[in-house]
Amino acid sequence: MKKTIEKINKQHAVLVQAIQTIDDEFYTRRMTPEMQALRDALDKILNHSDKLHEESNMELEIYQVKKRHA
């Protein structure tokens, strides 16, 4: 499970880096509709999915507790 959590954390970091790069590159020029759609999708999963993040973290915690008590 440690490796799964590590993988999720690394994926999150890459998504954050991607949205920051998009913002930096397109800050002064017009974004294409495709790039805007990608940026919006990244923003949604990173910043507007609190319930999903909470439920995912809860599942990981429950799994770890069960594993410790097995």
The pTM of the full predicted model, rounded to 2 decimals, is 0.76
- pLDDT tens per residue, range 7-66: 999 999 999 999 999 999 887 788 899 999 999 999 999 999 999 989 998 998 898 898
Domain spans of the chain, in order of start: 2-68
Identify whether the C-beta of residue 42 lies closer than 8 Å to the C-beta of residue 17. no
Identify whether the C-beta of residue 42 lies closer than 8 Å to the C-beta of residue 20. no
Backbone angles phi, psi at 18, to 5 degrees: -65, -45
Backbone angles phi, psi at 29, to 5 degrees: -135, 165
Write out the two tokens for 70.
């097995």
